[in-house]
Amino acid sequence: MTQDVLWMTETYFKDNSILNDNTDWKIVQPIMIMVQDQHIRPILGTALFDEIADQINTNTVTASNTTLLNYYVRKTIIYYVLSELAPALKYRYHNKGIMVRNSENSQPATLEEIQFEISRWKQKAELQAEFTTKYLVQNNTTFPLYYNGNSDYDDVFPNKTNFRSSLYLGGESGDDCKNPNYYA
């Protein structure tokens, strides 16, 4: 298991997303690390994920991993961070409870508007994640750890698809919602 390392800089993220330049990076960092762990690790699998994280940490990223990062993975991270970031920017956790941010010069978005933005960015993230998976499958000889590197009991194996639905999509086991075609 590798230590937490950000897969892009603050400047890269802000230059390549809609995030305002004055947004506090201390709010974005933990969300980006969570996105890397919960969304990127299942796309890449543990072995490839750990290899890339180690290379970023030691500043020795290979040419093939640089291509993967720059054209696929970083876009996926940006879209997932934007989907996860919306509630964190509106709501703050304090010792008195959860507070809603307010400003004199602007009006906070409604919960419905926030949910729309979350859904919109999540759809973009899932599509970009699917592009990433297809790229890895097509270039499997360039990324041998994608298929062959996950052998430990606690390893995460790469997703076969990155689209998720909270609807039961049917399957071989009848109407049992515990089958692999059901995602909550």
Residue 10 host element (H or E): helix 10-15
The predicted pLDDT at position 177 comes to 52
Residue 122 host element (H or E): helix 111-138
The predicted pLDDT at position 169 comes to 59
pLDDT at 176 over 60: no
Report how far residue 36's alpha carbon sits from residue 19's, in angstroms, rounded to the nearest whole number.
18
Over range 103-117, report the average pLDDT. 80
Q: 54 lies in a domain?
A: yes
Where do runs of H (alpha helix) occur along 22-110? 25-35, 41-44, 46-58, 63-68, 74-90
Over range 64-78, report the average pLDDT. 97
Write the DSSP assignment of 142-153 as a string of letters: T-HHHHHS--ST
Higher pLDDT, 157 or 41: 41
What's the whole-number average pLDDT of the chain?
84
The predicted pLDDT at position 42 comes to 93
Task: Give residue 60's domain range.
Answer: 10-148
Q: 14 lies in a domain?
A: yes
The predicted pLDDT at position 63 comes to 97
Q: Which two tokens stand for residue 146?
A: 């994608």
CA distances from 47 to 16, 57, 111, 118, 119 (A): 27, 15, 38, 29, 30
73, 40 contact by CB (below 8 A)? yes
The predicted pLDDT at position 182 comes to 47
Q: 175 lies in a domain?
A: no
Q: 162 lies in a domain?
A: no
Q: 34 lies in a domain?
A: yes
Higher pLDDT, 154 or 40: 40
Q: 29 lies in a domain?
A: yes
Q: How many domains does the chain have?
A: 1
Report how far residue 80's alpha carbon sits from residue 117's, in angstroms, rounded to the nearest whole number.
11
Q: 128 lies in a domain?
A: yes
Q: 25 lies in a domain?
A: yes
pLDDT at 153 over 80: no
Q: In terms of pTM, does the model score above 0.85? A: no
The predicted pLDDT at position 81 comes to 97
pLDDT at 175 over 70: no
